[in-house]
Structure 1
Amino acid sequence: MKRPLRAIAAAGLLAAGSIVAVVLGAGNASADTQICDQYGSTTIGGRYVVQNNRWGTSAQQCINVTSTGFSITRQDGTGNTSGAPVSYPSIFLGCHYTNCSPGTNLPVQVKNISSAPGSISYNYISGATYDAAYDIWLDPSAKRDGVNQMEIMIWLNRQGPIQPIGSTVGNATLAGRSWQVWRGSNGSNNVISYVASSAIPSMSFDVMEFINDTRSRGGITNDWYLTSIQAGFEPWQGGVGLAVNSFSQSVNTGGGTTPPTTAPPTTAPPTTAPPTTAPPSGGGCSVKYTPNAWTDGFTADVQITNTGSGTINGWTLAYTLPSGQQITSSWNATVTQSGSAVTAKNLAYNGTLAPGGSTSFGYQGTLKGSYSSPTTFTLNGVTCARS
């Protein structure tokens, strides 16, 4: 699935005879407020912003904002379930396209966050196609405007034939629950999604659990900035009655840099990296290539395993993509493409593979014609077996 960028932009008034009140731009809600403007927003509790954010359709959508959350009261748009949703009505803390919540301390670097306790309570409905998502946005710079490079989506519920961006890359146990992990890119930013196996109507947790897991997967570093935390719905079809009953989110700073998990060395590290070593000949490596393709795009997860008896220090995987495939973004490796030839090189944290050890990287690309996978891979010049 590919999903266009959620944007906050200037929009004209959309008139409707049944609309009681329309909020334009940003204001402050002291009583129930109805927002029907495409990108209308208001603040509640002197702390959070609630936004209509109907970015994917020209059809009408309205939300009723209360003192603790909001509900969808009208949703006329219809999205293709193999494509993007029609909107993302939500409540947020932080800065989103220059719209910052009152008194926010965001953006703030991840390494300076000690905890980020949050809680959410949803009202779900049947007969509609949607996801209920807790969205976390991060970027290498302290952005208050424009798209961020990393979006973490926590799917607490999904109804209908929809799926996150990209493909599954594993599982995780976070906030005392099990999640299926997806990874990909929508063409504007990378996305890691954590999908619950069944609907979760309410949850209290520390957002840092998901940020730290994303960091451990190479998606961000401690120097990146957390810019906003949002909770709401992505409807494809229907949605009247969906509600955020309550939302609470804080970002506590002062924790300092995350301490290392091992003691620092007592001697200075070498000034040069260890030499790159090729795997032993005769079955020294294997590659598992797992694609997920759709009409005009694809993602691929590539797992490299050292099947030899010696340690590999630094790796370069080379192969040829079939005609019509062009890589647009990647993660966990430096991936370059020249014509059909692809070269993937390790990053600083995943270059050493002990005997029996594995590492994975992935990418997203565009597709013209029918899909097929590459067939031959070489690691540091040695041909690898397929697994």
Structure 2
Amino acid sequence: MPRPRIVALIALLCSLLGLSGVAGAQVATAAPVLCDQYASTSIQGGRYVVGNNRWGTSATQCIDVSGTGFTITQADGSTATNGAPKSYPTVYYGCHYGICSTSDNILSPNGLQASDPQFASVATSVSMTYPGSGTYDAAYDIWFNKSRPSTTTGQNDGAELMVWLNHTGAIQPIGSKIGTASIAGATWDVWSGNTGWNVISYVRQQTTSSASFLVNDFWKDVVSRGLGSTSWYLTSIQAGFEPWVGGTGLAVNSFSVTTGGTQPTQSPSPTQSPTPTTSPTSTPTTPPATGSAGCTATAAVTGSWGGGFQATVTVKNTGSAALSRWSVRWAFPGGQTVNNLWNGVASSSGANVTVANAPYNGQLGGGGSTSFGFVGNGSAPGSLALTCTAS
């Protein structure tokens, strides 16, 4: 989708004139609610940028910024569902139209080439909340430039990689459907179009409110279809919403980008409105071992509501040797099933569930730990008998 240029132009003009006040006014530093068309602010010490980005309408849109994301609190007007959306309120890592996240940003100011070894380890996670009405998509927008950009103030000319986690109403991605793909533990419909740059959209066949993945897992599929190249440069990773009708109540609860093989973190919220009613319960399994690679898995129910619950499982390397892979198995005691799962790859057969490590969190040094979480259907179990296997 087109993106605004006005912020970049003002920033460039101020730079040439040696001014700072005007450009600074475009990036708020302490504004909890953003209503100006292209207003933005940084969060988490500058690691991420949150932007209102109301580019497709003159109607008012306001977002309430939190320390980990934002919520749309006002979304006036509407646009035709066979055309462009009203906006793309977003939280992002990297640089977009001259506005960059400043803390631990490996993409600034010239992007990261997809052939760079660091690119393979870039991972991201998001957790979202959806209202009960409106027409919108909930999607990542990941931007690539064909050549190493000298600045990141303009429009990317390579590819716009979109990852649709959810969508409502009579909307569809740009272009046409060209196939399907199995990526990040899910099946996706793949769409391709061009608006001056390639737009490749992956639409999840089963919608979800949370996701964790390696950017390279999608980019490899893009390249295999001849729609991108490993010579192109990643410039930003964004997560947000494209509303056509309504949008109030859409929220990014948490968002993260990690590099160097570290684990993305998130605190997912299901599409329901759960009220935690259960105190966390822990079930340690395999006894600790030393001098070799072994693991334990501990489950904690962190919340429950009518017809569902949320749990976190912590995996720990109990030996002194490093392990490269792990898996956790259990059987639900009362007909429960997994709805959404993050930071792992799940498979199930009846009541039996197996969760293997994701590509980015399998390696654990001696004494190291990681975790995955899931939202389950059914009543919260009192305990889960977990078995952890390491190699």
TM-score in terms of structure 2 length? 0.58
Q: Does the aligned pair in 1 maintain the 2:28–2:39 contact within 8 Å?
A: no
**What residue is the counterpart of 2:133 in the other structure?**
127
User: How far apart, CA to CA, are the structure 2 residues paired with 1:66 and 1:56?
Assistant: 24
Within 5 Å, give how 1:72-111 maps onto structure 2: 72-103=72-103, 104-106=105-107, 107-111=111-115
State the one-letter code of the partner of 1:114. A
CA drift of 1:216 comes to 1.2
**What residue is the counterpart of 1:36 in the other structure?**
35
User: How far apart, CA to CA, are the structure 1 residues paired with 2:259 and 2:89?
Assistant: 22
State the one-letter code of the partner of 1:85. P
Within 5 Å, give how 1:186-265 maps onto structure 2: 186=195, 188-252=196-260
User: What secondary structure sits across from 1:114 in the alignment?
Assistant: helix
User: What secondary structure sits across from 1:156 in the alignment?
Assistant: strand
Radius of gyration: which is bigger?
1
**What residue is the counterpart of 1:304 in the other structure?**
none
**What residue is the counterpart of 1:136 in the other structure?**
142
CA drift of 1:189 comes to 1.7
User: How far apart, CA to CA, are the structure 1 residues paired with 2:36 and 2:173?
Assistant: 27
State the one-letter code of the partner of 2:113. Q
State the one-letter code of the partner of 1:69. G
Q: Does the aligned pair in 2 maintain the 1:142–1:227 contact within 8 Å?
A: no
State the one-letter code of the partner of 2:4. A
Q: Does 1:170 align with 2:170?
A: no
Q: Does the aligned pair in 2 maintain the 1:77–1:238 contact within 8 Å?
A: yes
Q: Does the aligned pair in 2 maintain the 1:167–1:182 contact within 8 Å?
A: yes
CA drift of 1:185 comes to 1.2
User: How far apart, CA to CA, are the structure 1 residues paired with 2:253 and 2:211?
Assistant: 12
User: How far apart, CA to CA, are the structure 1 residues paired with 2:231 and 2:76?
Assistant: 42
User: How far apart, CA to CA, are the structure 2 residues paired with 1:24 and 1:157?
Assistant: 34
User: How far apart, CA to CA, are the structure 1 residues paired with 2:254 and 2:176?
Assistant: 31
State the one-letter code of the partner of 2:233. Y
State the one-letter code of the partner of 2:190. V
User: What secondary structure sits across from 1:50 in the alignment?
Assistant: strand
Deviations 1:174-218 (A, max 9, x none): 0010000000012x3210000011321111111110111111111
User: What secondary structure sits across from 1:127 in the alignment?
Assistant: coil
TM-score in terms of structure 1 length? 0.59
State the one-letter code of the partner of 1:231. A
User: What secondary structure sits across from 1:6 in the alignment?
Assistant: coil
User: What secondary structure sits across from 2:217 in the alignment?
Assistant: helix
CA RMSD of aligned residues (A): 1.8
Deviations 1:132-185 (A, max 9, x none): 011110011233121112000000000010000000000000001000000001
User: How far apart, CA to CA, are the structure 2 residues paired with 1:100 and 1:127?
Assistant: 33
Q: Does the aligned pair in 1 maintain the 2:177–2:192 contact within 8 Å?
A: yes
User: How far apart, CA to CA, are the structure 2 residues paired with 1:101 and 1:134?
Assistant: 17
CA drift of 1:8 comes to 3.9
State the one-letter code of the partner of 2:154. G
Q: Does 1:160 align with 2:169?
A: yes
Q: Does the aligned pair in 1 maintain the 2:120–2:214 contact within 8 Å?
A: no
**What residue is the counterpart of 1:62 in the other structure?**
62
State the one-letter code of the partner of 1:109. Q
User: How far apart, CA to CA, are the structure 1 residues paired with 2:235 and 2:96?
Assistant: 8
Deviations 1:55-77 (A, max 9, x none): 00011100000001000000112
User: What secondary structure sits across from 2:38 in the alignment?
Assistant: coil
CA drift of 1:24 comes to 4.5
User: How far apart, CA to CA, are the structure 2 residues paired with 1:197 and 1:9?
Assistant: 36
User: How far apart, CA to CA, are the structure 2 residues paired with 1:125 and 1:230?
Assistant: 21
**What residue ranges of structure 1 are gaps of 5+ in the alignment?**
13-22, 254-387
Distance change >3 Å, CA 8–CA 52, structure 1 → 2: farther
**What residue is the counterpart of 2:154 in the other structure?**
146
Between the two proteins, what is the percent identity of the paired residues? 51
User: What secondary structure sits across from 2:255 in the alignment?
Assistant: strand
User: How far apart, CA to CA, are the structure 2 residues paired with 1:251 and 1:9?
Assistant: 30
User: How far apart, CA to CA, are the structure 1 residues paired with 2:36 and 2:85?
Assistant: 18
Q: Does the aligned pair in 2 maintain the 1:61–1:74 contact within 8 Å?
A: yes
State the one-letter code of the partner of 2:60. Q
Deviations 1:348-382 (A, max 9, x none): xxxxxxxxxxxxxxxxxxxxxxxxxxxxxxxxxxx
Deviations 1:256-291 (A, max 9, x none): xxxxxxxxxxxxxxxxxxxxxxxxxxxxxxxxxxxx
User: How far apart, CA to CA, are the structure 2 residues paired with 1:252 and 1:168?
Assistant: 34
